[in-house]
């Protein structure tokens, strides 16, 4: 049976699995690798903290998530791919309430980022 998404080790598994897919993805891979280059360990640490804060209420992330995205060359197709890979990751690994919450929160944030990126590109 699939596991529940309950603690930091689950969050790490989720983040590692998701960014593994992202790095191999034809559309998203080049964008992430182009910006992050050899700083993947730092990026992953940041994302563990982001999701630990968002899903577990353990406040280890204190950055501002949106600004680094403002200047990325991304549009609706990229956000659709992002959310598809995220949903796929969760469904492969987890079941239960937190797993559903993770997909819901990710979709909401992606929606907001997409609108904000659009706004930046048109200003």
The tokens describing 77, both together, are 């197709």
CA distance 78 to 40: 20
44 lies in the binding site for ligand HEM (CB under 6 A): no
Taking the C-alpha atoms of 18, 50, 70 and 35 in order, what is their torsion angle to the nearest 10 degrees? -50
Contacts to ligand HEM from residues 83-102, by CB under 6 A: none
Residues binding ligand HEM: what is the number (CB under 6 A)? 21
- Name the CA radius of gyration of the chain, rounded: 14
27 lies in the binding site for ligand HEM (CB under 6 A): no
28 lies in the binding site for ligand HEM (CB under 6 A): yes
Using the Cα atoms of residue 112, residue 116, residue 117 and residue 119 in order, give the sign of their dihedral. positive
82 lies in the binding site for ligand HEM (CB under 6 A): yes
Stretch that binds ligand HEM, among 5-13, 65-73, 87-95, 96-104 (CB under 6 A): 65-73
Question: Would you say how long the chain is, in residues?
Answer: 123
Binding stretches for ligand HEM (CB under 6 A):
28, 31-32, 35-36, 43, 46, 50, 63, 65, 68-69, 72, 74, 78-79, 82, 106, 109-110, 113
């Amino acid at each position: 049976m699939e596991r529940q998404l309950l603690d930091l080790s689950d969050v790490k598994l989720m983040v590692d699995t998701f960014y593994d897919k992202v790095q191999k993805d034809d559309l998203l891979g080049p964008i992430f690798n182009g910006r992050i280059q050899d700083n993947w360990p730092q990026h992953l640490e940041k994302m563990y903290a982001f999701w630990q804060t968002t899903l577990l209420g353990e406040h280890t992330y204190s950055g501002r998530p949106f600004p680094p995205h403002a200047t990325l060359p991304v549009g609706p197709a990229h956000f659709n791919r992002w959310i598809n890979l995220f949903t796929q990751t969760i469904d492969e690994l987890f079941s239960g309430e937190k797993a559903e919450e993770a997909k819901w929160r990710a979709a909401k944030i992606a929606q907001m980022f997409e609108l904000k990126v659009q706004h930046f590109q048109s200003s």
